[in-house]
């Protein structure tokens, strides 16, 4: 373009964003390929499938960017890719924020991701939920400042009237569905993230609640955040709140731009929109029609990328674009994408082989062309004038491709591109976010101000988690009280059934039965931890996905929280049965064995709960292991009589050590416990232990406690490792 001084100045233009783009999220060539099995002629073959295919675009700062498309379009996958929730190495492409390239871990630290399900503790109030979120995310900020931030956020989200209402769940009444969704949003924006991702925030809500939620999200965007959400069939009122659209189909970009320009986009495609039809809904209908035809959605993807007018559908009345044609500069030819795999009449593409597409059209953030542009508005649209200064290699590529431009499988831009057709680097996609920016209520934490990975120290996190655990236990006492009541009732039954054991062989047998039943009872009393943790695991995944706290602090806090409650359970049972059964040995050792038995079995059950996907499989696994541990604990067959190839089961059984510890505490003595008619001699405690192949050494008794402590620590470490490395909400 000429200037006043007569010299031309070449300017590098960013691909995938408008020329006046001043901030937000940019993404380039996002591709996510997975391998799937397909049966062909009776044989299973591996086939690569693109769930996302070279998507390039942007999301303006201070605006709501809505990702839409028909079912199976890849909306949630695309959102996960932008949010860094796809495993490293699986997603190809680049993502940058305000011009700075971002890694998945960096995106997680600067963003918030609101999941489709509201994962909150039902017995916390709205205020308590947000205050705990502030404690996790606002670090060393003073308590008064945190309260002020929470109060301001409650007002901003329209939650003032439900401030002290419990969140609630299916079993207990609480806030409404729309209020619960707004609380979920508040939990993740308490720290003022630069990026906000929402997966179907209106799912399951009525139209009024859905509009209220998006209205609050709209206010958050205007405060300076970049908001990206997926949404399915938004109402006309919600569409008015959307600033920027990204429409996908089969993992490819179909449209990107302002919602008000969708009708213009349809006209440029040559598709006549019926009067009174909603433009966005009609475009998605057209996309589905192409998808179900032999053409597939690739033709529309090419139009969105290059301006190449798609061929009309058979038996469809395709109108001529209202934009008058004008010659576009001939640039260079491009290979038609080559499709491999099955693409039948349904037009469903499996894997797109890009061939020389990387050479012919660059999707990187910076254009390979030095360009200068001028934009002039007219009734026919916006006319784009380009002057190129290609590199030497690019000039060579153009010379090689020009003779082939008329060959089958190739096309030239100069013949079919309609003037003023918006592409990902056209100003028709401009959303002037500066018109909407208002002072931020909660100052954003930009990437340039990133501090430590976690806002709090390990000890601070542990203390906050413990406080929250105690609140939940106080509000839901049935979990703790049910265990206590069971142990109390069973203790009374044991005390009355086995009281004053006779001093004969039958009395010895009765005591052995009492000890093994006690061990089994304590094991079963921990089984209700399975559904309790599985229900809480989803909250853990949501909170740790953006570094609210460490998995190690969560593990330690959970252990410390239940120590006094487990001690109370063991103490109540021990106090009930000790005197009626005339048990001997140190009482404190008897109590310690019961306590360590609860700790080790509770740790084991928690570990199993972290591995299984649901509580049904969790119960099945715990019951199966209970049977195995019971079988090999030494009651039915002592360790000496168990076959050698099964002896290892005796070692790993968590029932072996409390059972042996209780027997050693009772029978490590020369005192007679009964008369044996078969031998004609009294039976001492050492005789009983010797017959069961249990050590009579006093020091071995304390060794059993150390082994139970070791199992407790081991299961907690395994539990931590599962949380740390396996409990992540991301795609592979």
Residue-wise pLDDT for 140-191, tens only, equals 789 999 999 999 999 988 899 999 999 998 778 889 989 999 999 999 888 8
Distance CA 54, CA 35 (A): 17
Distance CA 339, CA 350 (A): 8
Q: Whose CA is closest to 627, among 658, 655, 606?
A: 655
Q: What is the pLDDT of residue 318?
A: 42
Most distant CA atoms of the chain, gap in Å: 124
Q: 251 near 352, Cβ under 8 Å? A: no
| 52 beta partners | 32
Kindly tell me if the per-residue pLDDT of 421 is higher than 70: no
Name the band, by pLDDT with cuts 50, 70 and 90, for residue 392.
very low
DSSP assignment of 179-243 equals HHHHHHHHHHHTT-BSEEEEESTTTT--HHHHHHHHHHHHHHHHTT-EEEEE-SS--HHHHTT--
Q: What H or E segment, with its residue span, contains residue 89?
A: none
Average pLDDT, rounded, for the chain: 78
What are the φ and ψ backbone dihedral angles of 111, each rounded to 5 degrees? Answer: -130, 170
Q: What is the pLDDT of residue 321?
A: 38
Distance CA 660, CA 695 (A): 9
Q: What is the DSSP letter of 506?
A: H
Kindly tell me if the per-residue pLDDT of 261 is higher than 50: yes
Q: Residues, the chain, total?
A: 732
Distance CA 459, CA 439 (A): 35
Q: What is the arithmetic mean of pLDDT over 518-525?
A: 91
Q: Whose CA is closest to 682, among 690, 670, 691?
A: 670
pLDDT in tens, 492-514: 999 999 888 888 888 899 999 99
- Local structure of 703: helix, strand or coil: helix
For the four alpha carbons of 556, 560, 565 and 567, in that order, the dihedral sign comes to: positive
∠ CA 353-359-364, nearest 5°, is: 95
Q: What is the pLDDT of residue 479?
A: 80
How much of the chain exceeds pLDDT 70, in percent? 77
Q: What is the DSSP letter of 318?
A: B
pLDDT in tens, 554-586: 999 999 999 999 999 999 999 999 999 989 889
pLDDT in tens, 430-440: 333 333 333 33
Q: How many CA atoms lie within 13 A of 204 on its CB side?
A: 13
Torsion of CA 633, 637, 643, 646, to 10 degrees: -20
Q: What is the pLDDT of residue 66?
A: 95
Kindly tell me if the per-residue pLDDT of 597 is higher than 90: yes
Distance CA 225, CA 38 (A): 43
| 650 vs 383, more confident | 650
Kindly tell me if the per-residue pLDDT of 227 is higher than 90: yes
Q: 199 near 229, Cβ under 8 Å? A: yes
Phi-psi category of residue 674: left, alpha or beta, with phi > 0 → left and psi -120 to 50 → alpha: left
The domain 24-119+192-207+220-306: what is its CATH number? 3.40.50.300
Q: What is the pLDDT of residue 424?
A: 40
Neighbours of 292 (CB within 10 A): 15
Q: What is the arithmetic mean of pLDDT over 621-640?
A: 89
> In the structure, how many helices (H) and strands (E) does the chain have?
24, 18
Distance CA 30, CA 94 (A): 7
Q: Whose CA is closest to 290, among 337, 349, 350?
A: 349
Q: What is the pLDDT of residue 573?
A: 96
Residue with tokens 């894997």: 351
Parse the chain into domains and list their residue ranges: 24-119+192-207+220-306, 458-728
> Tokens at residue 21, please?
């783009």
pLDDT in tens, 72-105: 888 999 998 998 888 766 788 889 888 888 888 7
Q: What is the pLDDT of residue 64?
A: 94
> Tokens at residue 228, please?
């990206």
Residue with tokens 């490395």: 725
Name the band, by pLDDT with cuts 50, 70 and 90, for residue 373.
very low
Burial 685-705 (b: 16+ CB within 10 A, else e): bebbbeebebebeeeebeebb
Kindly tell me if the per-residue pLDDT of 719 is higher than 90: yes
4-18, 533-547, 676-690: range with lowest mean pLDDT:
4-18
Q: What is the pLDDT of residue 512?
A: 92
> Tokens at residue 85, please?
């929730």
Distance CA 603, CA 719 (A): 8
Residue with tokens 């004609």: 680
Kindly tell me if the per-residue pLDDT of 131 is higher than 70: yes
Distances (CA, A) of 348 to 52, 232, 296: 14, 21, 6
pLDDT in tens, 312-331: 876 544 443 344 433 333 33
| 421 vs 301, more confident | 301
How many angstroms from the chain centroid is the CA of residue 468?
A: 22
Neighbours of 33 (CB within 10 A): 16
> Tokens at residue 286, please?
């057209």
Burial 450-489 (b: 16+ CB within 10 A, else e): eeeebbbeeebbbbbbbebbebbeeeeeeebeebbebbbe
Q: What is the pLDDT of residue 428?
A: 33
Q: What is the DSSP letter of 125?
A: B
The pairing of strands 381-389 and 252-257 is unpaired
Distances (CA, A) of 115 to 179, 484, 546: 15, 36, 12
Q: What is the DSSP letter of 427?
A: G
> Tokens at residue 151, please?
């109060």
Neighbours of 356 (CB within 10 A): 12
| 366 beta partners | 14
Q: What is the arithmetic mean of pLDDT over 407-428?
A: 34
For the four alpha carbons of 714, 715, 721 and 724, in that order, the dihedral sign comes to: negative
- Local structure of 516: helix, strand or coil: helix
For the four alpha carbons of 137, 143, 145 and 151, in that order, the dihedral sign comes to: positive
Q: What is the DSSP letter of 353?
A: E
Q: What is the arithmetic mean of pLDDT over 475-487?
A: 88
Distance CA 166, CA 521 (A): 35
């Amino acid at each position: 373009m000429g200037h006043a001084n007569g010299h031309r100045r070449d300017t590098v233009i960013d691909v995938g964003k408008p020329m006046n783009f001043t901030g937000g999220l940019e993404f380039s060539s996002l591709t996510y390929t997975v391998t799937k099995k397909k049966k062909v002629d009776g044989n299973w073959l591996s086939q690569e499938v693109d769930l996302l295919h070279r998507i390039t675009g942007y999301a303006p700062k201070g605006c709501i960017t809505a990702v839409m498309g028909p079912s199976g379009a890849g909306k949630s996958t695309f959102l996960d890719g932008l949010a860094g929730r796809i495993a490293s190495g699986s997603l190809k492409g680049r993502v940058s924020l305000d011009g700075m390239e971002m890694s998945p871990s960096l995106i997680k630290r600067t963003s918030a991701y609101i999941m489709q399900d509201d994962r909150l503790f039902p017995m916390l109030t709205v205020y308590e939920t947000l205050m705990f979120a502030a404690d996790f995310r606002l670090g060393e900020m003073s308590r008064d400042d945190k309260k002020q931030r929470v109060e301001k956020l409650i007002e901003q989200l329209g939650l003032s009237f439900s401030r002290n209402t419990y969140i609630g769940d299916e079993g207990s009444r609480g806030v409404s569905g729309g209020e619960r969704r707004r609380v979920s949003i508040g939990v993740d924006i308490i720290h003022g993230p630069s990026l906000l991702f929402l997966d179907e925030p209106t799912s399951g809500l009525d139209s009024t609640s859905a509009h209220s939620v998006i209205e609050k999200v709209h206010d958050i965007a205007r405060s300076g955040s970049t908001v990206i959400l997926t949404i399915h069939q938004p109402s006309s009122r919600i569409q008015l709140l959307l600033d920027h659209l990204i429409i996908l189909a089969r993992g490819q970009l179909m449209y990107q731009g302002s919602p008000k320009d969708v009708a213009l986009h349809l006209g440029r495609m040559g598709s006549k929109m019926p009067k009174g039809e909603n433009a966005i809904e009609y475009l998605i209908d057209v996309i589905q029609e192409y998808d179900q035809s032999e053409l597939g959605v690739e033709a529309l993807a090419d139009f969105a990328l290059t301006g190449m007018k798609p061929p009309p559908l058979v038996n469809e009345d395709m109108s001529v674009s209202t934009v008058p044609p004008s010659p576009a500069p001939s640039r260079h030819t491009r290979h038609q994408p080559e499709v491999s795999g099955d693409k039948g009449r349904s037009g469903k593409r499996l894997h797109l082989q890009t061939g020389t597409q990387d050479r012919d059209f660059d999707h990187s953030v910076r254009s390979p062309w030095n360009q200068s542009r001028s934009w002039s508005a007219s009734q026919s649209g916006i006319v784009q004038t380009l002057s190129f200064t290609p590199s030497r290699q690019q000039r060579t590529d153009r010379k090689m491709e020009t003779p082939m431009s008329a060959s089958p499988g190739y096309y030239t831009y100069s013949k079919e591109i309609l003037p003023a057709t918006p592409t990902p680097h056209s100003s028709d996609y401009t959303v002037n976010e500066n018109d909407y920016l208002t002072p931020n209520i909660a100052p954003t934490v930009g990437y340039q101000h990133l501090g430590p990975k976690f806002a709090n120290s390990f000890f601070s996190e542990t203390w906050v988690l413990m406080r929250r655990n105690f609140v939940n236990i106080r509000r839901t006492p049935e979990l703790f009280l049910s265990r206590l009541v069971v142990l109390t009732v069973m203790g009374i039954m044991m005390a009355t059934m086995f009281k004053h054991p006779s001093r004969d062989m039958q009395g010895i047998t009765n005591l052995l039965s009492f000890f093994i039943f006690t061990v089994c009872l304590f094991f079963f009393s921990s089984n209700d931890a399975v559904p309790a943790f599985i229900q809480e695991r989803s909250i853990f995944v949501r909170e740790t996905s953006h570094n609210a706290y460490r998995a190690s602090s969560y593990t330690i806090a959970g252990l410390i929280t239940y120590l006094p409650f487990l001690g109370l359970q063991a103490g109540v049972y021990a106090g009930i049965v000790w005197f009626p059964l005339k048990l001997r040995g140190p009482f404190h050792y008897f109590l310690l064995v019961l306590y360590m038995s609860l700790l080790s079995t509770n740790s084991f059950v928690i570990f199993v709960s972290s591995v299984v996907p649901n509580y049904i499989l969790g119960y099945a696994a715990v019951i199966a292991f209970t049977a195995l541990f019971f079988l090999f604990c030494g009651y039915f067959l002592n360790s000496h009589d168990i076959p050698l190839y099964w002896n290892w089961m005796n070692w790993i059984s968590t029932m072996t050590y409390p059972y042996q510890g209780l027997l050693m505490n009772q029978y490590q003595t020369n005192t007679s416990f009964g008369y044996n008619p078969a031998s004609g001699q009294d039976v001492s405690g050492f005789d009983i232990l010797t017959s069961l192949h249990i050590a009579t050494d006093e020091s071995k008794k304390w060794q059993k406690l150390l082994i139970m402590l070791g199992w407790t620590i081991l299961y907690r470490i395994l539990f931590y490792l599962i949380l740390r490395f396996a409990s992540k909400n991301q795609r592979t």
